[in-house]
Amino acid sequence: MTYPNTQLFINGQWQDAADGRTLAVNNPATGKEIGRVAQAGKADLDLALAAAQKGFETWRDMTAAE
C-alpha cells in the first residue's frame, strides 16, 4: 500500500511547504511509512491567509444568487 506524496494547495496551486518540511504517513496496521505530506509552517499559513483575504475582498459583496 502506498500513499501519494502530497503538497499544500494554496491560492489555486499545489506547492511544497516553504521550508520543505514533510510528515510521514504511516500504515496503522504495520507502522510502515507509506508516503509523505507537506507540513505547513508559518510562511505557508501567511500565504494561505493572504489568498483567503484576497478572495474575501472579491466575494464579500456578491449575493447568494450570484
pLDDT tens digits, 17-46: 999 999 999 999 999 999 999 999 999 999
Residue 66 lies in a domain: no
Q: How many CA atoms lie within 13 A of 41 on its CB side?
A: 9
Residue 62 lies in a domain: no
Residue 35 lies in a domain: yes
Q: Do residues 23 and 3 make contact, with C-beta atoms less than 8 angstroms apart?
A: no
Residue 3 lies in a domain: no
Residue 64 lies in a domain: no
Greater pLDDT, 47 or 61: 47
Q: Does residue 56 register a pLDDT over 90?
A: yes
Overall number of domains in the chain: 1
Helix (H) or strand (E) holding 37: strand 33-38
Residue 15 lies in a domain: yes
Residue 1 lies in a domain: no
With a threshold of 0.85, does the pTM exceed it? Answer: no
Domain with 46 in it: 8-57
Residue 49 lies in a domain: yes
